[in-house]
């Protein structure tokens, strides 16, 4: 089974073009399932045979997870198993897909964490603009809020991804799908200033002029998602934001503020790169809350 998992991971990486996060999660989930099988069956060398897996065994595995994991996590692990066994079935390595008929658990209602406008502006003002890394962090925060990027999309940007004159950025999203996004004037100004002050570091790192990663770490290499997570958390603490936020919270803030400003769901769906409109609809409750505030404040009989 270990070899089959490795083969499947190469397949989703090379042929399906899944994101790094999805690939990492699928590999972790499948190896966890393999360890579960090893505790349930008498298996030599702890490497279970694929023919031992049936519907009831998968149901037992998922049942074991319910006390320890959120439903969204269980749904992801089930998705990994369905994709894995479908791959094996198509290649004649398994006689059937024992996970195919198992229903995905009903998801909890998920309310996105987002920042009010005043808190978002305070976060944008927090980095020290007198320092090179401060200018970089301003550019990162402005771009996250301006265009609603995923953090993985942000760190994957190259200088060539930006058209500063047209205020556009080309983003490679989930599954390698590209989308062209508008960038606000404040974000463009912040990026221009950062690029001007990082020119020496880029030359030292050996990047050709106007090429290479857009956002660099202090060594001159490409910034990682972990760096951005740490940076956002540090600035949020420094400016007194009490809620726990992440770069993804800024993406939620982007979508929420657009919706409150009158943008329609279809437009927000395109900007966020959601395949299904239902994914975008989680933001509608926020708009309804705002409508209720206006109603309670304005209607004579409220």
Q: Is 251 a catalytic residue?
A: yes
Q: Which of 70, 129, 170, 174 is catalytic?
A: 174
Q: Is 252 a catalytic residue?
A: no
Q: Which of 136, 251, 252, 257 is catalytic?
A: 251
Q: Which of 197, 222, 248, 282 is catalytic?
A: 248
Q: Which of 136, 150, 202, 252 is catalytic?
A: 150
Q: Is 71 a catalytic residue?
A: no
CA dihedral 268, 272, 276, 281 (to 10 degrees): -50
Q: Is 174 a catalytic residue?
A: yes
Q: Is 248 a catalytic residue?
A: yes
Taken in order 28, 29, 33, 34, the sign of the CA dihedral is negative
List beta partners, residue 9: none
Q: Is 150 a catalytic residue?
A: yes
Q: Which residues are known to be catalytic?
A: 150, 174, 248, 251, 274, 283
């Amino acid at each position: 089974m270990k070899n089959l998992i490795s083969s499947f991971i190469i397949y989703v990486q090379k042929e399906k073009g899944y994101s790094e996060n999805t690939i990492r999660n699928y590999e972790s989930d499948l190896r966890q399932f393999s360890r579960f099988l090893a505790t349930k069956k008498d298996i030599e060398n702890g490497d279970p045979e694929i023919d031992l897996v049936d519907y009831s065994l998968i149901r037992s595995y998922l049942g074991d997870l319910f006390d320890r994991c959120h439903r969204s996590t269980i749904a992801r692990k089930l998705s990994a198993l369905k994709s894995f066994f479908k791959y094996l079935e198509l290649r004649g390595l398994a006689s059937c897909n024992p996970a195919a008929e198992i229903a995905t658990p009903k998801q909890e209602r998920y309310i996105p964490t987002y920042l009010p406008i005043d808190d978002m502006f305070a976060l944008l003002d927090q980095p020290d603009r007198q320092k090179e890394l401060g200018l970089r962090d301003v550019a990162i925060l402005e771009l996250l809020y301006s265009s609603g990027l995923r953090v993985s999309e942000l760190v994957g940007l190259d200088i060539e991804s930006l058209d500063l004159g047209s205020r556009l950025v080309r983003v490679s999203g989930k599954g390698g799908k590209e989308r062209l996004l508008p960038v606000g004037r404040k974000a463009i100004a912040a990026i221009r200033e950062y690029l001007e002050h990082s020119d020496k570091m880029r030359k030292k790192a050996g990047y050709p002029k106007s090429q290479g990663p857009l956002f660099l770490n202090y060594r001159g290499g490409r910034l990682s998602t972990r760096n951005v997570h740490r940076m956002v958390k540090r600035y949020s603490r420094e400016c007194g934001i009490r809620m726990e936020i992440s770069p993804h919270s800024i993406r939620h803030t982007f979508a929420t503020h657009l919706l409150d400003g009158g943008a329609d769901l279809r437009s927000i769906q395109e900007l966020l790169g959601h395949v299904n409109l239902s994914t975008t609809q989680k933001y509608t409750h926020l708009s309804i809350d705002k409508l209720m505030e206006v109603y309670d404040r304005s209607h004579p009989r409220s």
